[in-house]
Structure 1
């Protein structure tokens, strides 16, 4: 049996009791490590689970999925996913491959960013299509997601923006020299996401956003150092949201209750002081820094 097990969003304690029971009896346990990250490192997970974890990076999942599935044909294998197992298309693909190979699959669900964002007060059923914002490069500045935000806003729907994570990405410059060298991990911040959105808006002039557009920045959602701020884009640019992971929401039309909740998270001098404190606390070790 292949078990796709959600770990939740915070630390090693967020796994469900059912998920923990399954992990403890599995002969092989893989930790998916490129679509998202937990706020703790692997040894803490291993200490609680009582199992050695094999880190499954993008290369392993994309190139050696059949090996994992062959193991699951004859024994119990756990594939651990930050958030919920179906929060990324990669895991749906693994599920489909298992079914095509005749391998039994069972999912054990958990909280993900897709439902945890409700903590900011915006109602989940009023969200439109979720989009992902990739890092710009000198030669690649994509904007295909812009039209999706525009469509959501035209219907009064909120847009959740998932921000780019670059973990164990090969250096293209090194590859051109025939060497495989990985770039340092990079995690997009709320600030970078806003800067890129404003650049796209200046280029396309579609009226999707501007310096005064209300948005919501979220950092380390589900963790003890969770941090949420709402306000105009130009004001959120001045906030240090601290270590990853970050997300961004562009609200659509808001109900009065949603408006009141967002007001609770508005930018204030105290908000900025709290941002500095939380960032220092995480860096000093009261929460694990990724």
Structure 2
């Protein structure tokens, strides 16, 4: 069995109980080490999980995936991903390779920046519109806002960690904000709901910019 396990956003303890149980039972445990990073190192993870981790860089995952899948018919293999396995970077290719080889797989999800970013106060949602492709493209082109130096943005760093930092301001103001160590995210906002404005004021570089929102 191949397990794709999300590690969450912060430190070693952000793994789910289910994910940790699987890690402990696996014969080999790979740590995907090129799309994101945790606030702790490989050694801290190994100590908490009680398992040796094999670092898997981009070359191994994309060019030598057979190494990861070797003997997965007879034993359990874990592939650990910071955040969610299908969050910022999908690992569909690894799944497809496993299926082609007749290897069963299971995904254990976790928090990712795509949902945790809601901590800044913006309402995170996905709009699904059932229209023709031609109409969708026309509508998107018409709705695309022009980004200027006065566009409201939100910068986030180390989301999920004890030292996370959030700052909101204009794009020009954000160029002077120091967020500290990675990982960093930048949100360029569109039309804001009054509740979103109130939340962003909590993190504002200059609250006056929100008076006109």
TMscore range, shorter length: 0.7 to 0.9
Shift of residue 215, structure 1, vs aligned partner: 0.4
Aligned equivalent of 1:123: 123
Q: Hey, what does 1:220 align to over in structure 2?
A: 158
Is it true that 1:266 corresponds to 2:196 in the alignment? no
**Mind listing any 5+ residue stretches in structure 1 that lack a counterpart?**
129-147, 156-206, 270-290
> Within 1, Cα distance between the matches of 2:205 and 2:61?
41
Name the CA distance, whole Å, in 1 between partners of 2:108 and 2:93. 16
Structural mapping, 1:1-290, within 5 Å = 1-125=1-125, 151=140, 154=143, 208-268=146-206
Number of aligned residues: 198
Runs of 5+ unmatched residues, structure 2: 129-136, 208-213
> Residue 253 and residue 265 in structure 1: after superposition, are their counterparts in 2 closer, same or farther (change >3 A)?
same
Q: Which moved more, 1:19-28 or 1:67-76?
A: 67-76
Contact map agreement 1:33 1:55 (CA 8 A) in 2: yes
3-state SS in 1 of match to 2:125? helix
CA change 1:40–1:126 in 2 (3 A) is same
**CA distance, structure 1, for counterparts of residue 127 and residue 146 of structure 2:** 16
TM-score, structure 2 normalization: 0.87
Rounded Cα–Cα distance in structure 1 between residues aligned with 2:6 and 2:203: 29
Q: 1:221 to 1:151 in 2, by over 3 A?
A: farther
RMSD in angstroms over aligned alpha carbons?
2.2
TM-score (norm 1): 0.64
Distance 1:77 1:153, change over 3 A: farther
